[in-house]
Structure 1
Amino acid sequence: MMSSSLPAGDADGDMETLPLAAASDYASTATTFDPLLSTSSPSPPTPAAFPLSRASSSSFVDPPSYADVAASSPRSASVSSSTSPRSARAAASEYAHIAVSDPETEAEAAATSLVPGSAPTYISYLVTSARRCDHRRHAVRRRFRDFITLADRLAEAFRGHFVPPRPDKNTVESQVMQRDEFVAQRRAALERYLWRLAEHPAIGASDELRVFLQAEGKMPLPSSTDVASRMLDGAARLPRQLLGEETVSPPQDVVQPAKGGRDLLRIFKELKQSMVTDWGGVKPPLVEEDKEFLEKKQKLQDWEQQLSSASQQAEALVKAQQDMGETMGALGLAFVKLTKFETEEATYDSQRIRAADSKRIAMAAVKASRTCRDLNTQTVKYLDTLHEHLGIMLSVHTAFSDRASALLTVQTLMSDLASLQSRIEKLEAASSKVFGGDRARLRKVEELRETIRATEDAKCCALREFERIKENNKIELSRLDEERREDFLDMLKGYVRSQAAYAEKIVDGWTMVAEETSGYGRNSDVV
């Protein structure tokens, strides 16, 4: 169990796993994809997301060590000599170095402890970085809460972009896993997260990321990330809004989602607008008219389903290869025991000869077991691209949600303008029936016109934000198409070549055994 020194509030991990499904046959891939014979190839990606249950070394005899087959294969040699698309994107980022290391347990400030002498603790990590422009090394201490703050700031500043998702917070997993294992997995996940941010064309050059990587001291928790304070602010503003003292949200609030909580009235208005549009069948004043975007959105939804299915099949393949390795190891152990028995109990020379041949089969089996395990490691590395792109789809959904939220804000403001204009017309009509005009109604008309002007300004800001998000979506979709093509071709090349190289190694091992035991065939022919 995990040590209690790791606080529940900071205990979480991001080692996501994918569901298992029936195994799929990848054998035909090598013969159907001729482009895989080109010279470019991938470097090993980030640590695997597919879970592997490691067999104990005591379950079968450890095979003798031998050089990695991929290193000696001509096909795999070309694999390691070239640069993968992911490495190329890292080389194009503004950062030459980012690392998360040296986890330390620190105590919370005494003021946060309710019980004297029992201050809660948290884990902090040393984050080092260096930009290509100056190569100056920066080192700061960050805790997981700081990564959450960074993610929230990026979500606000880069609406419409495919912002890489931060590692999840999983308290249950942290309590089940061993403490050292959990901290190590979180450290690796946070480092991968920072590299994904640095590789993003827009986020990599942002002030938000630069401040996080370079600013000394503890990161302040902005009020925008404090849910309780947002709700209190919203509750305090609501009476003034209902009484007409504060009728329009300021532009800085309009360009952010209403779900932030500071403007409860706006939340209610947008909820009403959404219900009228979805359930009332009323056409909103502004609709999504970008047919190309809608088509790509539908294709991405279909792609996500296919990607999820492929990831399930890939994990089933990993499990099948793992079972094969364990089975071959068990076979080798059985032949080792048989060899020992034949040697100890041998009466005739023929028994000793067969014992020697059994030993050859045992060694070939355990070598094949080691090869299967090494092959499985390579398979996980290459097919992890499927898991990576499933994670990207979370960012895609968030970006599309930003677009829908911005559109709903514009629709709500336009409906408010129509409602205000209708009220003015009714007041003017009622005032015209009074000789000399109704001063109270005329004064109300002027107040409404002032509200209309403020609402128009807010609508213009919201409309500009919607157009900005649309442009961000367009740029990101184009980038995703290009990266997806590069990553998957890269994945297929590495996967097919590793399968071929390790299969060749296994065949060579059994071919040697067949040659060494070929005398049995000749003896049977004589008989």
Structure 2
Amino acid sequence: MMGYENQGHEEAHLYATPAEMESLVLTDNDDSSHHQSQPNHHHPLSSSLPFAAQIPTDDDHLLASPSFLTHSQSQSQNPIPNHSSSSSSFKFILEPPSYADAVFRSFDGDHINETNGHDSSSGDLSSSPPSTVEYLSISVSDPQKEQDLANSLVSGGNTYVTYLITTRTNLPDFNGSEFSVRRRFKDVVTLSDRLSESYRGFFIPIRPDKNVVESQVMQKQEFVEQRRVALEKYLRRLAAHPVIRRSDELRSFLEVDGRLPLVRNTDVASRMLDGAVKLPRQLFGESVGGAVDVSEVVQPAKGGRDLLRLFKELKQSVTNDWGGAKPPVVEEDKEFLEKKEKLQDFEQQISNVSQQAESLVKAQQDIGETMGQLGLAFVKLTKFETEEAVYETQRVRAADMKSVATAAVKASRLYRELTAQTVKHLDKLHEYLGAMLAVNQAFSDRSSALLTVQTLLSELSSLHLRIEKLEAASSKIFGGDRARIRKIDELKETVRATEDAKSCAIREYERIKENNKNELERLDKERHDDFFNMLKGFVVNQAGYAEKMASVWDMVAEETIGYAKDGS
């Protein structure tokens, strides 16, 4: 340290103006032991020229932003120093690029692009996969605000946002290879509802939430961009599904221009109202004994159109849980039950790992920011020591501080890039955590279909018991009881309708079981491949960036090896 007599002069320079700070540019020495091998009077810092030298570019472009490369090239072409170039280079050191500005080169050579919902080698829709491979590429862009003229009483009162959905494919199910349509979020909701009804038992990706409150709290543009990204991910996941990608619903959504041809769901309130209107006729026998409509048993009762069926299934559910009698039919697929239990454990484990991954990303980000602040502090200290240097040892120490500052800035950049690579690879954990919602929904379809079958079987048993009692009572009367005979005929008609509904419900249940089986096999295979690629990319990048960081500090250790010799 400098003597006490210079303390006041030091303090006068501790708080340099921004212009003075920006005029400082750091550099690495080409020769790590330059200040040791050369005489002291030849040390770069002993020169009477202003201390202005640039940080050399690394052979890896990860360490240099485009602005810095431009600055380096301009200096090599024009060696005359100027204040503006020094300022821009120093600003580059003080303000490392953000994640969005950094140029990343993954050590595993993986570049993100979503074709068929998976990563591929190019991020441009204009470059399609080979024609021999089936592909379905979807992008969502160009959000535009439009007026809702149909539902607005005042001109300009209601507005909504539409998105341009561009599709490129070679699938024969589509009528072209490239087409675009504009859709609003309400159309996505309709698509999701149609798929949920038509493909029960499949692991259908969950659509993004409506987030009405969030849209009001966040800035409009920020919310629209977040929704655009979410919609693009959702549609790409649908495109990755081997069955959904060929569905008529998705094809119409992507291909048919103008108004969406899919029929929208009636809202819950309207369905409940329809069910309430129909309930008295069912209770008082105006319909066929309250029998379930065959066309409705393929859908869950919670839709609300048939309140009597809803009440019956609720009663059956309570009986299954609390009644002493065994249900007429139960889930007997032991293999499925074992897989279901394992997936529940998997969901818990993946949730824990996902939380730890978030902690890791936060820790790496904090280290990178702290390392950058350390580099900035050494930059300021180097400037102070250089300007106030009186003894040659101070100049040598300033050169070593400059090396530490350079290494800290480089390490900060590497941590930023490593964090981005960590997010890219470990994001697969979050994807699977979201996929478990689709898995649980498919299992819920199965449970709902089984409950419908159980309810219909219980209903048939009850009807047969009533018929037996009426027949026994009617047989005791000579000539029969016409009222009882008429009631028996009505009950037999109800039995026939219920038998038809039961057969349809059993077929639907078996179809859902088969869908579950196929989806579980697909999930096992994809999980193996996805987790292998995730772990490979994560480990390779952790090792690669650790090696780069070690090389940065090894260079500083070589440049400061003189301290170890002096100490010995």
User: When the two structures are superposed, what TM-score results if normalisation uses the length of structure 1?
Assistant: 0.83
Match of 1:360 in 2: 403
Q: Which structure 2 residue ranges, 5 or more long, are not aligned?
A: 1-89, 122-127
Query: Does residue 163 of structure 1 match 2:204?
Result: yes
Q: Name which of 118, 125, 141 aligns with 1:86.
A: 118
1:429–1:128 Cα change, 3 Å: same
1:268–1:339 Cα change, 3 Å: same
Give the Cα separation in 2 of the matches to 1:137 and 1:499: 39
Query: Does residue 195 of structure 1 match 2:236?
Result: yes
1:64–1:187 Cα change, 3 Å: closer
Alignment of 1:379-394 (within 5 A): 379-394=422-437
Q: Name which of 336, 345, 356 aligns with 1:302.
A: 345
Q: Name which of 139, 147, 153 aligns with 2:194.
A: 153
Shift, 1:405, TM fit: 0.3
1:295–1:435 Cα change, 3 Å: same
1:472-499, Cα deviation, whole Å (9 max, x unpaired):
0000000000111110011000000000
Give the Cα separation in 1 of the matches to 2:211 and 2:260: 22
1:212-269, Cα deviation, whole Å (9 max, x unpaired):
0011212267353422321221111111111112222222211000011111110001
Give the Cα separation in 1 of the matches to 2:558 and 2:235: 53
Give the Cα separation in 1 of the matches to 2:267 and 2:229: 27
Query: Does structure 1 conserve the Cα–Cα contact (< 8 Å) formed by 2:453 and 2:506?
Result: yes
Alignment of 1:353-432 (within 5 A): 353-432=396-475
Give the Cα separation in 1 of the matches to 2:521 and 2:331: 19
Q: Name which of 464, 467, 479 aligns with 2:507.
A: 464
Q: Name which of 234, 242, 250 aligns with 2:275.
A: 234
Identity %: 63
Query: Does residue 268 of structure 1 match 2:311?
Result: yes
Give the Cα separation in 1 of the matches to 2:512 and 2:134: 24
Query: Does residue 107 of structure 1 match 2:142?
Result: no
Instruction: Compute the RMSD of aligned alpha carbons.
Output: 2.6
Q: Name which of 50, 61, 66 aligns with 2:94.
A: 61
Supply the AA of the counterpart residue of 1:352: R
Query: Does structure 1 conserve the Cα–Cα contact (< 8 Å) formed by 2:190 and 2:265?
Result: no
Give the Cα separation in 2 of the matches to 1:319 and 1:131: 39
Secondary structure (helix, strand or coil) at the match of 2:118 reads: helix
Give the Cα separation in 1 of the matches to 2:420 and 2:192: 31
1:387–1:81 Cα change, 3 Å: closer
Give the Cα separation in 2 of the matches to 1:357 and 1:275: 77
Match of 1:438 in 2: 481
Supply the AA of the counterpart residue of 2:230: A
Higher-Rg structure is 2
Alignment of 1:72-83 (within 5 A): 76=107
1:191–1:94 Cα change, 3 Å: farther
User: When the two structures are superposed, what TM-score results if normalisation uses the length of structure 2?
Assistant: 0.77
Match of 2:558 in 1: 515
Query: Does structure 1 conserve the Cα–Cα contact (< 8 Å) formed by 2:136 and 2:239?
Result: no
Shift, 1:519, TM fit: 1.6
Q: Name which of 459, 481, 487 aligns with 2:524.
A: 481
1:474–1:93 Cα change, 3 Å: farther
Supply the AA of the counterpart residue of 1:242: L
Q: Name which of 283, 291, 305 aligns with 2:334.
A: 291
Match of 2:255 in 1: 214
Secondary structure (helix, strand or coil) at the match of 1:127 reads: strand
Shift, 1:101, TM fit: 0.8
Q: Name which of 131, 135, 147 aligns with 2:169.
A: 131
Runs of at least 4 residues off by over 4 Å: 57-60, 63-71, 77-85, 88-95
1:125-158, Cα deviation, whole Å (9 max, x unpaired):
0111133046532211100011000000000001
Supply the AA of the counterpart residue of 2:137: H
Give the Cα separation in 1 of the matches to 2:96 and 2:463: 81
Secondary structure (helix, strand or coil) at the match of 2:496 reads: helix
Give the Cα separation in 2 of the matches to 1:174 and 1:409: 39
1:216–1:79 Cα change, 3 Å: closer
1:232–1:351 Cα change, 3 Å: same
Give the Cα separation in 2 of the matches to 1:166 and 1:328: 40
1:39-88, Cα deviation, whole Å (9 max, x unpaired):
xxxxxxxxxxxxxxxxxx999813599996846xxxx2655699999347
Q: Which structure 1 residue ranges, 5 or more long, are not aligned?
A: 1-56
Between 1 and 2, higher relative CO (CA 8 Å, sep ≥ 6) is seen in: 1
Q: Using the TM superposition, name which of 136-145 and 392-401 deviates more.
A: 136-145
Q: Name which of 176, 179, 184 aligns with 1:143.
A: 184
Give the Cα separation in 1 of the matches to 2:109 and 2:353: 27
Shift, 1:168, TM fit: 1.5
Shift, 1:360, TM fit: 0.9
Q: Name which of 363, 381, 384 aligns with 1:338.
A: 381
Give the Cα separation in 2 of the matches to 1:419 and 1:476: 37
Query: Does structure 1 conserve the Cα–Cα contact (< 8 Å) formed by 2:111 and 2:120?
Result: no
Query: How many aligned residue pairs are there?
Result: 463
Query: Does structure 2 conserve the Cα–Cα contact (< 8 Å) formed by 1:93 and 1:199?
Result: no
Q: Name which of 244, 254, 257 aligns with 2:285.
A: 244
Give the Cα separation in 2 of the matches to 1:94 and 1:260: 37
Give the Cα separation in 2 of the matches to 1:126 and 1:152: 21
1:288–1:67 Cα change, 3 Å: closer
